[in-house]
Amino acid sequence: MLEVRGLSVSYGQHRALDGVALDVKRGEIVVILGANGAGKSTALKAISGICEGRVAGSVTMQGEDITALPAHRIVESGIALVPEGRGVFADLTVAENLALGGHPARARDEAAANLDRVLALFPRLIERKRQVVRTMSGGEQQMVAIGRAMMSNPALLTLDEPSLGLSPLLSKELFQNLRRVRDTGIGILLVEQNARASLAIADRGYLLENGHIVHADSADRLRNDPAVQAAYLGGGATAARRPMVAAPVAAALPPQRAAAGPSPADIAAAAMSALPAAPQARPAPAAMVPLAAPPVPQAARPAPPRPAAAPMFGLALDNVVAEAAAASRAGYGTTPPPRSAAPRPAPALPATTASGADRLQTALAEIEQAAAAARACRPAHRRP
């Protein structure tokens, strides 16, 4: 189904992938394992047509050469990517995210069947269809991300580190779900740092080191390979017969990334200046809406009117697309920040138009006040 041959990617002078060849067949889970910086994400991005680097080689999907095609044409060829960090529209609802996933032409005639398939896999999304994605747990957001990708009716699902940031329990659920996706006949190409869990569900695997495929085998044999155990599964280090950890590539750093980066103060200043000047600029997410409840008023969102209890595909797709595009232009991340343990919805920003620096000062003052209060509460015998 997917055939990759001689795939090479360079970022400036830095060769991130070098002559990679791999295959994925229908209904097969294939995992790419590799150390940080080995080139795993680059491989997925190059296959999906969203790589920032210079790409050479050939990618063929179901007999069609898709090497030089733009990303949306690659989706039409049957490849869907769940990028690292999920790539969901955090300020849209579950239903809207799924509707967006069904936008490609190849999916439109089969939208209802695709939706049934997604909801059969992830029944929790039925009751959450009107929940704003930002307010969901990491595992639930991952279900939305996979569901959105599956709405494009893919023959191949590619996933970049889908278990990143998930608890062990949610990771287990995720890998079980991927197995169920595979059982529907979809091929899966998976990049994972969780070698143990991914080899447990995979049919085959590739080891990627410094941009080269150094080994390929069945998942069973990889799991029992002493070198793989040593490098990826926490086994005895002495057993390694191949160097598994990406060695630093001397004098080949990509020019886009400066050797001496900005100082933490520069980064903090840039982050503060990127904050919206006023709280209205980035609306707080709406709380979860129970299925039967009336819609939450979302005055702050410049969105077209949303049908209250419309069926999932009663959504006007054009409006949803326009809203997603507007959200992207306004700078709302498509990837939500990690959800804190604080009660949802997230607290609104202070109702002032203070600058980023002022808000930082306010936050520091509050921390100092809290520290003083804590000191005052200390039991007398522990005071110095």
Query: In the block, which residue shows the tokens 């600029």?
Result: 281
Q: Is the dihedral of CA 7, 48, 150, 86 positive or negative?
A: positive
CA 54 – CA 98 distance, rounded (Å): 32
C-alpha to C-alpha distance for 334 and 260, rounded to whole angstroms: 29
Compute the least distance from the CB of residue 157 to ligand ATP, in Å: 18
CA 89 to chain centre: 11
Binding to ligand ATP by residue 162, rule CB under 6 A?
Answer: no
> Which of these segments, 37-45, 98-106, 170-178, 297-305, binds ligand ATP (CB under 6 A)?
37-45
Stretch that binds ligand ATP, among 29-37, 127-135, 228-236, 368-376 (CB under 6 A): 29-37
Contact 31, 217 (CB under 8 A): no
**DSSP state, residue 259:** S
- Contact flag: residue 39 with ligand ATP (CB under 6 A): yes
Assess contact for 29 and 188: CB atoms under 8 A. Answer: yes
Q: Which of 256, 353, 362, 369 binds ligand ATP (CB under 6 A)?
A: 256
Give the sheet arrangement for strand 79-82, strand by strand: 79-82, 156-160, 187-191, 29-34, 204-209, 212-218
Q: Which residue from 36, 238, 263, 340 is in contact with ligand ATP, where contact means CB under 6 A?
A: 36
Residue 73 near ligand ATP by CB under 6 A: no
User: Would strands 212-218 and 204-209 be described as parallel, antiparallel, or unpaired?
Assistant: antiparallel
CB of 226 to ligand ATP, least distance (A): 23
How many CB atoms within 10 Å of residue 145?
23
In the complex, the smallest distance separating the C-beta of residue 250 from ligand ATP, rounded to whole angstroms, is 12
Segment contacting ligand ATP by CB under 6 A, of 40-48, 55-63, 228-236, 318-326: 40-48
Q: Pick the closer one to ligand ATP by CB: 13 or 352.
A: 13
Q: Which of 8, 10, 42, 77 binds ligand ATP (CB under 6 A)?
A: 42
Q: Is 83 a binder of ligand ATP (CB under 6 A)?
A: no
Specify the residue, 13 or 176, whose C-beta has the smaller distance to ligand ATP: 13
Is position 57 an interface residue for ligand ATP (rule: CB under 6 A)? no
CB of residue 259 vs ligand ATP: minimum separation in angstroms?
A: 12
Q: In the set 18, 19, 23, 37, which binds ligand ATP (CB under 6 A)?
A: 37
Q: Binding residue for ligand ATP (CB under 6 A) from 1, 38, 75, 136?
A: 38
Q: Applying CB under 6 A, does 41 fall inside the site for ligand ATP? A: yes
Rounded distance between C-alpha atoms, residue 361 and residue 174, angstroms: 41
Q: Is 207 in the site for ligand ATP (CB under 6 A)?
A: no
**Residue 176 within binding range of ligand ATP, rule CB under 6 A:** no
Alpha-carbon gap, residue 117 to 227, rounded angstroms: 39
Looking up tokens 């150094």 gives 214
Please identify which residue in 40, 134, 204, 344 interacts with ligand ATP, judged by CB under 6 A.
40
Of residues 11 and 206, the one with the C-beta less far from ligand ATP: 11
Q: Where are the alpha helices (DSSP H) in the chain?
A: 40-48, 71-76, 94-101, 105-108, 111-121, 124-127, 138-150, 168-183, 195-201, 219-224, 226-232, 264-274, 317-329, 356-377
156 near 24, Cβ under 8 Å? yes
If you search the block for the tokens 């909801």, which residue do you land on?
Answer: 119
Amino acid at 112: A
Shortest spacing between CB 254 and ligand ATP, in angstroms = 4
Which C-beta is closer to ligand ATP: that of 52 or that of 368?
Answer: 52
Interface residue with ligand ATP, options 25, 196, 257, 378 (CB under 6 A) = 257
Q: Could you say whether residue 238 binds ligand ATP (CB under 6 A)?
A: no
> Contact at 8 Å (CB) between 139 and 122?
no
The size of the interface with ligand ATP (CB under 6 A), counted in residues, is 15
Binding site for ligand ATP (CB under 6 A): 11, 14, 16, 34, 36-42, 52, 254, 256-257
